[in-house]
Amino acid sequence: MTTVQTATGPEQTMVLNMGPQHPSTHGVLRVLLELDGENIVKADVDIGYLHTGIEKTAEALTYSQAITITDRMDYLAPLSNNLAYCLAVEKLLGLEVPKRAQYIRVLLTELTRIGSHLVWLGTHAIDLGAMSVFLYCFREREEILKIFELVSGQRMMTSYFRIGGLALEPPVGWTDQVQKIVNTFPSRFDEYEELLTKNRIWIGRTQGVGVLSAKDAIAMGVSGPSLRGSGVDYDVRKYFPYSSYDEFDFQVPVRTECDCYARYLCRVAEMRESLKIVRQALKKIPPEGPVKADAPGIVPPQREKMKTEMEALIYHFKIFTEGFAPPPGEVYQRIESPRGELGCFIASDGSPKPYRMRMRAPSFVNLQALQKMVEGRLVADAIACIGTLDIVLGEIDR
Amino acid sequence: MTETPDLEQNPIIAIIRGWRPEAVAAVNSFRGELTIVIYREHLLPLAGFLNSDAGLGFTYLSDVTGVDRFPIEPRFELNYHLLSLSRRQTVRLRTRLPGDDPVVQSVVPVWPTANWHEREIFDLLGIRFEGHPNLRRMLLPEDWEGYPLRKDYPVEGPR
């Protein structure tokens, strides 16, 4: 506690806990706010309430088994986590994934991005008082979750991507369902913008709030829309394309105002760009073709072959009992998750279990910027700033 | 993981060797990723150089990862993943620390983002960062004993 000069004389500041149980901290986040009335003098962020030791657990699982725990980190964009991990292992193995699987991965990852941004928009809006937007966003998100259920059997923790491609062949007619989304969503996004973008209260709550200059953002390692709202156009899909993203035509929205409003505009524009990518992917995906790489010791053989051919049976047995062993070495694979640069570092020692799996969570790094954003501002602005950073505690704490 | 001849032509390595040749212990390339292994006493000066040199421009620190190579000595390995936004290039800096003296200088003065990365590594691996403004546990409770990510710490926890 420090002493601050106020209009009525020197006063002691008050330390108040925001969280860990709080509807607006988007998870179990504790922010210790040192307050002078409503002004924040100092903010200290305390995390770790959701730490489950995912990185340590991964060292005890085989490479294929570890896919399921990656879902649980950024639980609003589980397919992104799967993608980062699978791409890292595929890089380690030097495995080439068939184009059809790559395009389907892109389509599902972009749907995940839309779904994640919908949650962000709904929760950010409801934090700041715009309660109707929340249910509209979740209504749209339902359609996306239905697609995930259709292809993988699971709404959220899909684990649909595997080392070498996808887990299963998607069902016949799934692209028609995706086409429905592509047809109906643009007008829905227009509805949200109609409610918020020119709304005086929204502008008052978000413009000029949570300012983070480009220099500060780069120094703090901020990535994703939080960085692009400050004028830096770093998007991993454009800088270091992965999974055939260079074959898709899309823009990366960048704003220069550096405040919450800029980030809001970036994310809404990103949703529209993601729809563009989905539309292109629907045209690109060949109706037939392999969804898994042809790598006998790594990718399990088809079940029919396993039941009739001896070699396939032996491969199946070895893969599911021992697992496959990549060469020793380290790789770092970056992808653009809805929150920013999601990195997966894998160190292999030649055994079937990852020696070290590290996920560089974008929310973990972005949250560091919170202290800079809220100091000197009002408590209400802290809510806006936490919302604008789009954090997910699952990936912060792992 | 051997030094291939064309790596010496790599401009990043050439610039670093030109700046301070005794800093580099080894260089290797695996799956298209360049790794420069340096000695720990040169870490902070090299970090400052990479950050400020206009030709390289590694102003963005993506990630700091610690690996416990127990029982191989030097036991701890720190990997710094750097990105140059202007040149769209990435590089990995690696330094090894002995198990009985896992201390290294903090790179927070160069890249403030390292603040939380180093705290997490201290929390889970027990590597100390000299000069860090706030080196205390963050994911585990303040009074936790032991460093879970170390290889001699059981997966199920202390029992």
Model confidence pLDDT, tens digit, residues B46-98: 888 888 887 888 899 999 999 998 888 888 999 999 999 888 889 999 999 98
- pTM for this structure? 0.92
> Can you give the pLDDT of all 398 residues of chain A as single tens digits?
677 777 777 778 888 988 888 888 788 889 999 888 888 888 999 998 989 889 999 999 999 999 999 988 889 999 999 999 999 999 999 989 999 999 999 999 999 999 999 999 999 999 988 889 999 999 999 999 999 999 999 899 988 999 988 988 999 889 999 999 899 999 999 999 999 989 999 999 999 888 989 999 999 999 999 999 999 989 999 999 998 899 999 999 999 888 899 999 999 999 999 999 999 999 999 988 888 988 888 888 888 888 899 999 999 999 888 888 999 999 999 999 999 999 999 999 989 999 999 999 999 999 999 988 888 899 888 889 999 998 999 999 88
Residue among B111, B116, B149 whose CB faces A56 most closely: B149
Number of domains in chain A: 2
| Mutation target vs A (from B120, B137, B142; most A CBs, 10 A cutoff) | B120
Same domain, A146 and A270: yes
CATH of the domain at A199: 1.10.645.10
B20-34: pLDDT as tens digits: 888 888 888 888 889
Instruction: Let me know whether A295 and A247 are in one domain.
Output: yes
- Whether residues A219 and B92 touch (CB distance < 8 A) is answered with no
**How far apart, in whole angstroms, are the C-alpha atoms of residue A318 and residue B21?**
47
Provide the 3-class DSSP secondary structure of residue A213. coil
Torsion sign (Cα): A113, A115, A120, A122: positive
Of the candidates B62, B79, B85, the beta carbon closest to that of A232 is on: B85
Q: Which chain B residues are within 8 Å of A91, Cβ to Cβ?
A: 31
Reduce the DSSP state of residue A342 to 3 states and report it.
strand
A37 and A125, same domain (yes or no):
no
**What is the helix, strand, coil percentage profile of chain B, to 5?**
25, 30, 45
Strands (E) located in chain A: 3-6, 9-12, 14-18, 30-36, 39-46, 161-162, 165-166, 329-337, 340-348, 356-360
Q: Kindly tell me if the per-residue pLDDT of B3 is higher than 60.
A: no
Chain A residue closest to B140 (CA)?
A48
B97 within domain boundaries: yes
Could you tell me if A255 and A301 lie in one domain? yes
Peptide bond into A352 cis (omega under 30): no
Give me the pLDDT at residue B2, please.
Answer: 46
pLDDT at A5: 75
**B130 lies in some domain:** no
Picking from A104, A37, A127, the residue whose alpha carbon sits closest to that of residue A389 is: A127
Whether residues B88 and A343 touch (CB distance < 8 A) is answered with no
Residues A309 and A221 in one domain: yes
Instruction: Give kind and range of the element (H or E) at residue B78.
Output: strand B76-84
Element (DSSP H or E) covering residue B66:
strand B60-68
Q: Report yes or no on B120 lying in a domain.
A: no
Do A24 and A115 lie in a common domain? no
Q: What is the pLDDT of residue B56?
A: 82
For A6, A66, A103, the CA distances from A100, given in Å and listed in that order, are 65, 24, 5
Tell me which residues of chain B have a C-beta less than 8 Å from any C-beta of chain A: 1, 30-31, 33, 35, 59-63, 65, 67-68, 79, 81, 85, 88, 90, 92, 111-113, 115-117, 120, 124, 137-141, 148-149, 153, 155
| Cα–Cα distance measured from residue B154 to residue A233, given in angstroms and rounded to the nearest whole number | 43
List the domain range (segments joined by +) for residue A82. 54-397
Question: Residue A21 has what pLDDT?
Answer: 85
* Cα A53 from Cα A288, distance rounded (Å): 40
CATH number of the domain that residue B33 is part of: 3.30.460.80
Q: Which residue of B has its CA nearest to A347?
A: B67
CB spacing of A330 vs B35 below 8 angstroms: yes
Contact A239 B88 (CB under 8 A): yes
B131 lies in a domain?
A: no
Tell me the two tokens of residue B38: 């340096």
Count of domains for chain B: 1
Whether residue A319 sits in one domain with residue A206: yes
Q: Which residues of A touch B71 (CB under 8 A)?
A: none
Output the six-digit token pair for A271. 């949703």
Q: Which of A360-364, B2-6, B120-124, B155-159 has the lowest mean pLDDT?
A: B2-6
- In a domain, residue B132? The reply is no
Let me know if residue B86 belongs to a domain: yes
pLDDT at B6: 61
ipTM: 0.91
Band (pLDDT 50/70/90 cuts) for residue B1 is very low
3-class SS shares of chain A: helix, strand, coil, % to 5: 50, 15, 35
Does residue A333 sit in helix, strand or coil?
Answer: strand
Q: How many CA atoms lie within 13 A of B60 on its CB side?
A: 21
Where do we find the tokens 């409801």?
Answer: A126
- Phi and psi at residue B129, in whole multiples of 5°? -115, 110
Are residues A187 and A265 located together in one domain of the fold? yes
Domain annotation covers residue B141: no
Strands A39-46, A30-36: pairing is antiparallel
Do the bridges between strand B128-130 and strand B103-105 make them parallel or antiparallel, or are there none, so unpaired? parallel
Whether A35 and A176 share a structural domain = no
What is the span of the domain harbouring residue B19? Answer: 5-102
Among A29, A47, A55, A56, which would you mutate to test the B interface (most chain B Cβ atoms within 10 Å of its Cβ)?
A: A56
Give the A:B interface size as CB pairs under 8 Å: 96
Q: Give the contacts of A184 (CB within 8 A, at least 6 positions apart).
A: A143
Residues A40 and A95 in one domain: no
Looking at CA atoms only, how far is residue A230 from chain B in angstroms?
A: 14
